[in-house]
A and B are shown apart, each in its own frame.
Chain A
Amino acid sequence: MIVCVSVVGHQNNPLYIQSFTDADDALKLHHVVHCSLDVIEERVNNPKTTLNEAFLGLLYPTLNYKVYGYLTNTKVKFILVTTDLDVRDTDVRNFFRKFHAAYVDAVSNPFHVPGKKITSRTFAQTVSNIVGSYGLN
């Protein structure tokens, strides 16, 4: 189950963070997402690994969560936190593909200020649909 998705700007500021859990660990998820930025930074700055694709794969396993990352060309990061123990790579890739499309739609809005928080309700709705359909196919 996806418990949290997040969009983080190129200055590592949160643009959108949404948790999908009833448990009272939303703040913990914020910490998890924030910490995972370190892994992305390390992976991006490591000269030995070349990034061929936007999908970054598993960032790191925490106690109960697995964190996956995705880096767009504009250095905007998507982060997914799931509680599933075995995650299929293709599912995550699919998720991020859809999520990216939704993000592009949201920031194409002429009233959106780039680099600022995404407040579009349509985006929120689309994201929750994507999260709901995750792992079904």
Chain B
Amino acid sequence: MRFLRRHDDDGDKEAIFALSLAGIPARLFSSDFPSLLFGIRSELGRRIQALSSIKTQPQGVMAGSAPEGTQKKLNQVLEGSKMMEEEYPEELRTPPVSLVALFGCAELHSSITNHLHSQQPPINALAFPDFSHLPLLLLAHRDVINNPTSSSFRDPLSSDSSSSPSAAVPSGGILKRDWLLKHRTKVPALVAAFFPSNHISGDPTQWLQVCSNLDTLKSVIRPKNIKLVVVVVQSSPHEVISEDRLLALRKRAELDSKYVLFLNHSELPLSLPRIASAFSDLALSYYREEARRIKSRIEKRSSTSLDLIVRYCFKVAVYAEFRRDWGEALKFYEDAYHSLHEMIGTSTRLPPIQRLVEIKTIAEQLHFKISTLLLHGGKLSEAVIWFHQHKSSYDKVVGSTEYNFLHWEWMSRQFLVFAELLETSSATVQNFSSLNQGTAEIPLTEFEFYPAYYYQLAAHYLQNKKSALELLLSMSVAAQQIGGSSESITPSVYVGQFSQLREKGEALTLHFITDEEYIRYAISEAKRFQGSFEIVAWLKKSYESFTNLKSRRMAAFCAFEIAREYFGLSDPSNAKFFFDIAANLYRQEGWVSLLWEVLGYLRECSRNLGALKAFVELSLEMVALPVTSCDDFGNLRDKTYGPGGPATVSRRESIHREVFTLMCRETELISSTEESGFKLASDSPLHLEIDLVSPLRPVLLASVAFHEQMIKPRALCSITLSLLSHLPLPVEIDHLEVQFNQSTCNFVVRNSQKPLVASPSSTVQSGSQVENEQSLVLVPNNWLRLTYAIKPEQSGKLECLSVLAKLGPRFTICSRAESPAAMEDSPVWKHENCVQSLPTKDPILAVFGQKATQVEEPEPQVDVSLGASGPALVGENFTMPIVVTSKGHAVHSGELKINLVDVGGGGLFSPREAEPFSLESHHVEICGIDGAEGNDESESETGNIKKIQQSFGLVSVPDLEEGESWSCKLEIKWHRAKPVMLFVSLGYLPQGNEANAQKVHIHKSLQIEGKMPLFITNRFMLPYRRDHLLLNRIKPAPDSEDMSSLPLNEKSVLVVSAKNCTEIALKLMCMSIELDDEQGKTSCLIQQGGGGGETSDSANLAPGEEFKKVFTVIPTMRTPKLSLGSVHMKWRRQGDYTEDACVSTKHKLAEVNVDASPLVMSLNCPPYAILGESFTYAITICNQTQLLQEAKFALADAQSFVLSGSHSNTVSVLPKSEHVLSYKLVPLTCGQQQLPKITLTSVRYSAEFQPSTIASSVFVFPSAPQANSTAK
């Protein structure tokens, strides 16, 4: 819509009318070819965005403090950007689109135009409803080209102009301003005449009307070579038009038959493509012919005037663009550009300044076209090289040196426009590193592909322009007087020319202007747009872009430039924001001279902002900078200093003096010293904090070293305080405060030359140490070394935190204390020019000195004794008496910490040893702590701590006076035999209930062995002389190696023995077997052997002694794993008669295998034999199964017996019956003799078994014993 509005002003109502008639959306002119679009809208949007960012940044700084004129200036910049927009009108920025005109049959126009727009490439259409509008087309031509007098503007360059003051100047210009627009919006490439078929085949009047319309049309378009198409509109496809009429029509229109088209209402979608392609063909040929016509003029060299050649080349290029022949367009634009360049110095048509302005304006447009074409052809390198050439060919074409601001402005615009072009196209070409980087002649570098680079330079040229303009205004009084109202000077009809608009009665006329007039105009325009905000906006774009590219230094430079611009605009808060960005980088990288300059600006900013603290900080940073003065190397002879002045020693000294007089002056003088711009409340103190990373560190460096690494409490220890300042002048300190983490150690060093000022300080208490020094003067670059003795009260770490120097009544600097050992120089610069010296005289201290030391604890004067040592027995509650005896210290709020630690390491619990029955995770645990006798009540009253965990205990110790003692008993229980370390530590306060008192600690430790008291074993004994074939014994299951097997339902004997394996005599109270559960009770029957009572169990066990007890076991259930329960024992240490001391120990018996034996072999023989007397030795084989058992037996001979009976045989034993083998034996030898050994083999189980050796032996008496008779 903007497009239309602009031409509205020019009075071109016809085109608007035409366009609106045709219903063409105006936006089509800006969006007809999106890929090649440089929409005004987006460009303007960008600029507004850039400008709005001025408003928003820095956040918070501008808010509320914006200068009054900011909004006005911003508006001006926005206006400025509109001016830029007018610099490149729409038609120049977008590629041209073919134009056709439609006449007649208005009802079809909208569908036709829509179709044409959707074509690729699109075609624009001017639509006229009927032929009566034909004069509009006609007028559009005549108005501008042929009939200037009819316009409200009078062209002064036309031949009949007599009023022109510079008649000697040849008329005309290079390019007409509206030529391009005219061809895009007014001069169609072809005219399409639409006739309804009934008009053609209808009555003669209608036919005549058609003919006359055609004639008029022809007469209008013929001179301009505009093509003609006749479209016959049929209402139905079957409608027939007579051949004669059609022929006549063709003849009348002088057209080839293919340009007489038929359009069918009903088949519109089919006809439209045909029409569109015909239109497109004809438009192409129109533009081609026009181009050829003009090209021939160039070739003929009919005119030697370069003006015309430039114009012709431009036109040819535009026609090529119409045809989308980008190559040819580029070629002719370049030709025009080169021809134009030749004109510099040769053209005499206009006065010199205006002539150059015109050439440069056209060069700019041509350059714009070329760059656009190159960039959108993807030829980024070529475009950059082209820009390079463009810049270098016009770089020196300054023109009048007096008015060189025009040149700077023009140059700035070149950079800006190229930057914007590059930015819009950079989305397509991101990766330039792969591109060919320039040519041998013009090597290109990375940054030349960044828009940021061009923005920065655009801003730079604008700065040049600004300063040139300022210079001009300051030089000439006349220039100053030029007001804002220019004498109605407007752009003339030619590009790059200006003329004066004069009113003569009703008519307005355009007049030539002289250079003086032009300059007045240019100055007044330039005054309107000072450009500072544009500079800031472009620099800001550059800054952002460089920041995104991670080019921090470029960005910092841009920030610096922005800040300087703000500084010039007297906007200190914005300036400060950007100066800070630059200063941070320079500080970080140690660019001292640059930093000096920035700090100089920043100092002024803070002065203007009234920020006293910042001002002092910046001033101190400046004076402490290691700036090599200009005298040394001749560097920095820059005469254009910033407000910081030259970085010389004298300048540093003067800043130093300024700050210190500001800060250290007497209170009453304050009101009279207002010149520095600060209004201070007399009691507002200034406190500076300096830490290790502060830029102010060189101002006051505090190194603190303790002479000892460990010191005794309440003993004097030496501390050396070394201060260093890099300020250029000596500084006298009123007093120093040294602060420690133990605030009681804080002390003050007072300068005895200064009057004693009662200064209340929060950090130093009133009663603290005060030292006096004769003088406390910091000489530049020399260490001020002070050594004092301090007496720490508390144990623990004593660290010096900071040193606070009071330099005046209200000025304090607090510097973080540093250890000499850890002190480092600034990473990037050193104070090279001064002699390096050590902070302390003692070199060892200077290298290894620390600002912290360890204060030992006072000697404990309390004894803690652990009463018992002996081995502890597993299961019992081992009592450990702990006695706390005071031997010089009273004990207050004492705490006893008890810790049990596994000696073997790995904690008291190891999962590998875990067994299912030991549910306690700890093998050793603290069971309880008995407080001192009779103290229980008081403990509960005071709510003392008594925490017990399994391996940790905490007991509070009641307050004890000197000489008193307290004891407690610690009960520890072992679940496993293992050694344990017992740690007992007592912490107490020797001095009552002081809040800040420190605890004294005593540590004791003892290793205690835990031992198993009893070793319990058990064994089974089977019934005497009865052997069972237990299949398990023959074929043992893999996991039951050691498992005993018991026959089912047989009485076996279980012997349990307990051995005292300690060195302590124990008393065994009782021993019993308890079955585990119900199942155990049903599956087996255990009885005590002997049947004796409880008392019989109790026995004294000396160390190493063993106690045995017999049980009978009858398993009643066949099971591979029969649990026999566990042995329960009660015991205690001998001599300990307390009830509690009785300990019960459990021992789980191993599981047994219960099996039914198929065969039982029992030996039957008398209890003894008599030498020479025979006896019967019967072996009974009992089959307990339901099967027939076949058993082989073999009897081995025995030396001591004579035997009768079969030695070996196989017998069959019936189910549930016995077979008896009977032998007669006569003993031959006396004594315990082995009976003949029988071996039984069960065929069914292929198992062999023998009775045990003991079972198969008998004692042989020499004669019959007389025992019976004696007994009786």
Contact (Cβ within 8 A) A37 B828: no
A38 touching B553, Cβ below 8 Å: yes
Q: Decide if B457 touches A48 in the complex (CB within 8 Å).
A: no
Q: Is B64 an interface residue (CB 8 A)?
A: no
B429 to chain A, nearest CB (A): 15
A38 to B586, CA, bound (A): 14
Indicate whether B589 reaches chain A with its CB closer than 8 angstroms: yes
In this complex, what residue of A is CB-closest to B636? Answer: A26
B39 at the interface (CB under 8 A from A): no
A136 within 8 A of B: no
Shortest distance in angstroms between B366's beta carbon and chain A's nearest beta carbon?
A: 23
Residues of B430-482 whose CB lies within 8 A of A = 433-434, 443, 445-448, 453, 457, 460
- Name A residues whose Cβ lies closer than 8 Å to a Cβ of B: 9, 11-14, 17-19, 24-28, 30-31, 34-35, 37-39, 41-43, 46, 48-49, 57-61, 63, 113, 116-117, 119, 124
Q: Mark B623-638, 1 if CB is under 8 A from A, else 0.
A: 0000000000101111
| Number of residues from B at the complex interface, CB < 8 A | 39
Q: Is the CB of A13 within 8 A of B591?
A: yes
Known: A34-B557, A35-B554, A117-B832. 16 other contacts (CB 8 A): A11-B589, A12-B589, A13-B591, A13-B829, A24-B638, A27-B597, A30-B591, A30-B594, A31-B557, A39-B446, A42-B446, A43-B446, A58-B443, A59-B445, A117-B829, A124-B633
Q: Which residue of B lies closest to A32 (CB)?
A: B557
Is A60 within 8 A of B590, CB to CB? Answer: no
Report the Cα distance A19→B1149, complex, angstroms: 100
Can you list 15 A-B contacts (CB < 8 A)? Answer: A11-B827, A13-B591, A17-B593, A27-B597, A27-B636, A27-B638, A30-B591, A34-B586, A34-B594, A38-B553, A60-B445, A60-B446, A60-B448, A113-B830, A124-B633
Q: Sorted from nearest, which 6 A-B pairs have the closest CB atoms?
A: A13-B590, A13-B828, A38-B551, A24-B639, A60-B445, A38-B553
CA–CA, A41 to B797, complex, Å? Answer: 47
**Is there an interface contact between B637 and A26, defined as CB atoms closer than 8 Å?**
yes
B460 CB, nearest partner CB in chain A, Å: 6
Are B635 and A19 neighbours in the complex by a CB distance under 8 Å? yes
* Chain A residue contacts of B829, Cβ below 8 A: 13, 116-117
Q: Is B640 an interface position by the 8 A CB rule?
A: yes
Q: Which of A17, A25, A34, A58 has a CB less than 8 Å from the CB of B445?
A: A58
Cα distance A58–B554 when bound, in Å?
Answer: 17
Q: Bound state CA distance, A17 and B635, in angstroms?
A: 8
**Cβ 8 A contact of A31, one of B448, B546, B552, B594:** B594
Which one of A12, A25, A27 has the highest number of Cβ atoms from chain B below 10 Å of its Cβ?
A27
Contacts of A17 in B (CB 8 A): 593, 635
B residues 580-616 in Cβ contact with A at 8 Å? 586, 589-594, 597
Nearest residue (CB) in A for B460 is: A63
Q: Are B557 and A35 closer than 8 Å at their CB atoms?
A: yes
Beta-carbon nearest neighbor of A64 in chain B: B395
| A14 proximity list for chain B (CB < 8 A) | 590-592
Binary flags per residue of B792-821, CB closer than 8 Å to A gives 1, else 0: 000000000000000000000000000000
Least CB distance, A28 to chain B, in whole angstroms: 8
Q: What is the bound-complex CA distance between A101 and B1247, given in angstroms?
A: 102
Contact indicator A116/B830 (Cβ below 8 Å): yes
For B443, list chain A residues within 8 Å (CB).
Answer: 57-58
Q: Which residues of B contact A63 (CB under 8 A)?
A: 457, 460
How far apart are B546's CB and chain A's nearest CB, in angstroms? 8
Q: Is the CB of B639 within 8 A of A38?
A: no
Q: What is the 8 Å Cβ interface bit string for chain B, positions 824-842, against chain A (1 contact, 0 not)?
A: 0001111010000000000
- The residues of A that contact B434 with a CB separation of less than 8 Å are 48
A60 touches B447 (CB 8 A): yes
- Which residues of A are found within 8 Å of B546, using beta-carbon distances? 38
| B541-572 residues at the A interface, CB under 8 angstroms | 546, 549, 551-554, 556-557, 560
- In the complex, which residues of chain A have a beta carbon less than 8 angstroms from the beta carbon of B445? 39, 58-61
- Residues of B within 8 Å of A48, CB to CB, are 433-434
Partner of A38 from B554, B593, B636, B832 at Cβ < 8 Å: B554
Given contact pairs A38-B551, A61-B445, A26 touches B557 in the complex (Cβ within 8 A)? no
Q: How far is the CA of A25 from the CA of B637 in the complex (A)?
A: 8
Given contacts A11-B827, A27-B594, A31-B594, contact A39 B447 (CB under 8 A): yes
- Chain A neighbourhood of B594, CB < 8 A: 27, 30-31, 34
Residues of B within 8 A of A113 (CB): 830
A30 to B443, CA, bound (A): 24
Which listed residue (B433, B448, B453) contacts A49, Cβ 8 A? B433
Q: Which of B553, B589, B635 contacts A18 (CB 8 A)?
A: B635
Q: In the complex where A13-B591, A30-B594, A60-B446 touch, is A35 in contact with B553 (Cβ < 8 A)?
A: yes
Looking at the assembled complex, report how far the CB atom of A14 sits from the nearest CB atom of chain B, in whole angstroms: 6
Structural contact, B638 and A11, CB atoms closer than 8 A: no
Contacts of B827 in A (CB 8 A): 11
For A27, the chain B residues whose CB sits under 8 A away are: 593-594, 597, 636, 638, 640
Query: Knowing A24-B638, A27-B638, A34-B557 touch, does A116 contact B832 (C-beta < 8 A)?
Result: yes
CB-CB under 8 A from A41, the residues of chain B are: 551
Query: In the assembled complex, which residues on chain A have CB atoms less than 8 Å from the CB atom of B640?
Result: 24, 27
With a cutoff of 8 Å between Cβ atoms, the chain B residues found around residue A116 in the complex are: 829-830, 832
The minimal Cβ–Cβ distance linking A109 to chain B, given in whole angstroms, is 14
In the complex, what distance in Å separates the CA atom of A24 from the CA atom of B637?
6
CA distance A37 to B447 in the complex (A): 12
Question: Knowing A34-B591, A38-B554, A119-B832 touch, does A61 contact B448 (C-beta < 8 A)?
Answer: yes
Q: Which residue from B553, B639, B832 sits with its C-beta under 8 Å from A34?
A: B553
Q: For the complex, what is the distance from the CA of A19 to the CA of B637, rounded to whole Å? A: 10
**Residues in chain B near residue A49, CB distance under 8 A:** 433
| Bound-state Cα–Cα, A31 to B557, Å | 7
Shortest C-beta distance, A114 to chain B (Å), equals: 12
Q: Which residue, A11, A28, A35, A57, has most C-beta atoms of chain B within 10 A?
A: A35
Least distance between A53 CB and chain B CB atoms (Å)? 15
Q: Which of A13, A19, A31 contacts B589 (CB 8 A)?
A: A13
Residue of A nearest to B836 (CB): A113
Q: Which residues of A contact B597 (CB under 8 A)?
A: 27
- In the bound assembly, the distance between CA atoms of A25 and B593 in angstroms comes to 13
Report B-chain residues with C-beta under 8 Å of the C-beta of A9: 828
Q: In the complex, A108 Cα to B832 Cα: how many Å?
A: 18
- Inter-chain CA distance A41–B434, complex, in Å, is 18
Contacts of B592 in A (CB 8 A): 14
A15 to B633, CA, bound (A): 13
A39 partner residues in chain B, CB cutoff 8 A: 445-447
Across the interface, name the chain A residue whose C-beta is closest to B555: A38
Q: In angstroms, how far is the closest chain B Cβ from the Cβ of A46?
A: 6
- Closest residue on chain A to residue B444 by CB atoms: A58
The residue of chain A having its C-beta at the shortest distance from the C-beta of B828 within the complex is: A13
- Looking across the interface, which residue of chain A has its beta carbon closest to that of B438? A58
How far is B555's CA from A42's CA once the two chains are assembled, in angstroms?
Answer: 14
Query: Which A residues lie within 8 Å of B554 (CB)?
Result: 35, 38
Residues of chain B within 8 A (CB-CB) of A30 are 591, 593-594
Return the chain A residue nearest B561 by Cβ.
A31
- Residue numbers in B under 8 Å from A25 (CB-CB): 638
Query: Which residues of chain A come closer than 8 Å to B453, judged between CB atoms?
Result: 60
Q: Are A11 and B828 in contact (CB under 8 A)?
A: yes
B537 → A minimal CB distance (Å): 20
Q: Give Cα distance in the complex from A39 to B447, angstroms.
A: 7
- Closest B residue to A86 by beta carbon equals B441
Closest Cβ neighbor of A4 among chain B residues: B635
Residues on B with beta carbons closer than 8 Å to the beta carbon of A61? 445, 448
Bound complex: CA of A7 vs CA of B557, how far in Å?
19
What residues of A have a CB within 8 angstroms of the CB of B638 in the complex? 24-28
Nearest Cβ on chain A to B394's Cβ, whole angstroms: 14
**Residue in contact with B552 in the complex, picked from A38, A46, A58, CB distance below 8 Å:** A38
Are B639 and A42 neighbours in the complex by a CB distance under 8 Å?
A: no
Closest to B585 in A: A34
CB distance from A68 to the nearest CB of B (A): 10
Distance of A3 from chain B, by nearest CB (Å): 12
A11 → chain B, closest Cβ, in Å? 6
A12 to chain B: which residues have CB within 8 Å?
Answer: 589
Chain B residue, CB-CB nearest to A89: B443
